């Protein structure tokens, strides 16, 4: 996890932060952002409108847990990684369900036939002081479609997939639990975060798509589109 502290942008193109310290944290998926600030002031340009509010960070959710802890739980729960060709075979021959946790727009563009889409992250929707602060932080780095953890993820999955089902969780990149010389604890991804949330909520047959859907499309495996 990378951290950038004491961010104080001065350009008129961005909201201005006035606080003792503003800390921005990006996880390895670049999707979860947290920052600590006693007061955040936004000065609109050129209207002069000023919004002042205390941006209080919500309590840590399971998806925000440290990757080392997530990985240990996934290994304890015997979550196994499968490559894309094995995933296709398991889907066809053993009624495995492919759970695509990418954003809905990516899913509609291309996905494995029969896959179910429930996004693990979504565009920031609310306008609390905390959400405004997160939008500003994303904008500071040129990201104008900031995302947040989908609070309805597990409820949506439960409404579509029975807990006894065999699930292969997929995202774009896949990530890995396998250690390497450069990544001694593997690499976190959206699909591994989703797998972690699933096993915490009683799903017992959870698998992970190694290589992600990038590998699926690269191999030329069957693909559907809704566009």
Burial of 103 (0-12, 13-18, 19+ CB in 10 A): buried
Burial of 137 (0-12, 13-18, 19+ CB in 10 A): buried
Burial of 37 (0-12, 13-18, 19+ CB in 10 A): buried
Residue from 98, 133, 171, 177 carrying the catalytic annotation: 171
Is 107 designated active site? no
Which value, to the nearest 10 degrees, does the dihedral of the CA atoms of residues 79, 81, 86, 88 take?
Answer: 80
Residues annotated as catalytic are: 171
């Amino acid at each position: 996890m990378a951290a950038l502290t004491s961010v104080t942008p001065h350009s008129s193109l961005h909201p201005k932060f006035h606080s003792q310290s503003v800390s921005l944290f990006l996880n390895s998926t670049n999707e979860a952002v947290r920052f600590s600030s006693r007061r955040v002031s936004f000065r609109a340009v050129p209207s002069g409108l000023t919004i002042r509010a205390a941006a209080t960070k919500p309590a840590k959710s399971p998806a925000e847990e440290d990757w080392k802890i997530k990985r240990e739980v996934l290994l304890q729960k015997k979550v196994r990684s499968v490559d894309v060709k094995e995933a296709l075979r398991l889907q066809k021959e053993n009624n495995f369900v492919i759970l695509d946790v990418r954003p809905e727009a990516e899913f509609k563009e291309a996905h494995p036939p029969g896959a179910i889409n429930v996004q693990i992250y979504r565009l920031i929707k609310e306008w609390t002081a905390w959400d405004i602060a997160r939008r500003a932080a994303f904008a500071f780095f040129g990201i104008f479609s900031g995302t947040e953890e989908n609070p309805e993820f597990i409820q949506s999955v439960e409404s579509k997939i029975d807990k006894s089902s065999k699930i292969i969780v997929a995202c774009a990149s896949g990530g890995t639990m396998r250690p390497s010389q450069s990544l001694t604890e593997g690499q976190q991804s959206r699909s591994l975060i989703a797998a972690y949330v699933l096993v915490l909520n009683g799903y017992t047959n959870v698998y992970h798509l190694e290589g992600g859907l990038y590998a699926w499309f690269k191999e030329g495996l069957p693909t559907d589109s809704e566009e």
